[in-house]
Structure 1
């Protein structure tokens, strides 16, 4: 944490060091912003990032787990999340993603659903189908 900004970068052990100057998450005071996460499997030293699989289900579940790891590394949990933004690469994936999303949060025992937004974004790297970011307020 720097004295001038009070910001702390958050990078879980399961994540690679970002390739550019950004953080997987940033906490300032009781606010934690999780940067856009994708469905890469946990990092293995010496190996490039690997997608969880080719399907929307595999990638969505892994993406949600990657968001959860950043939340936990920053001292938060799903119940602290105020907003989730989901970016899909195909409008045909909305219904399936909603089903996966609903099942995941039911299994997590989420008390109150956060605000959410889903949009279609075609700029993800080849093979990636979904990206999710989150904003959490602790305490």
Structure 2
């Protein structure tokens, strides 16, 4: 069974299937990549909770940066957020994001606890 949560015409914020939660890409507000990353991760935590999961259950994260020059700054926030011993498989690349002010977008797949 597939369960879709917070669904609109374009997308669902969460799709659950076979014990896995797929989250739509999350962005954050702020001037710096650190501020945007913190807000993005806070939004991810809220969606994981709604899906019945948590940061400890993240299987994979895909991170898009508007500029790879922000890699170290984003990683400092990410590294402090990921629960010790629970680092997911992860990829990070550079991409043109939906709005010029956006500097980071994170897409997460997690096991449902």
What is the TM-score of this pair, normalised by structure 2? 0.90
Gaps of 5+ in 2: none
- When the two chains are superposed, the root-mean-square deviation of aligned CA atoms in Å is 1.6
Q: How far did 1:37 drift?
A: 0.6
Question: Over alpha carbons, which structure has the higher Rg?
Answer: 1
Matched, 1:32 2:25: no
Conserved 8 A contact 1:89-1:124: no
Residue of structure 1 equivalent to 2:52: 75
Q: How far did 1:69 drift?
A: 1.1
Aligned length: 113
Conserved 8 A contact 1:10-1:70: no
Distance 2:84 2:4 in 1: 26
What are the within-5 Å matches in structure 2 for residues 52-91 of structure 1?
A: 53-91=30-68
Residue of structure 1 equivalent to 2:104: 130
**DSSP 3-state at the match of 1:94:** helix
Q: How far did 1:136 drift?
A: 0.9
What is the TM-score of this pair, normalised by structure 1? 0.74
Higher RCO, 1 or 2 (CA under 8 Å, sep at least 6)?
2
Matched, 1:101 2:78: yes
Conserved 8 A contact 2:51-2:112: no
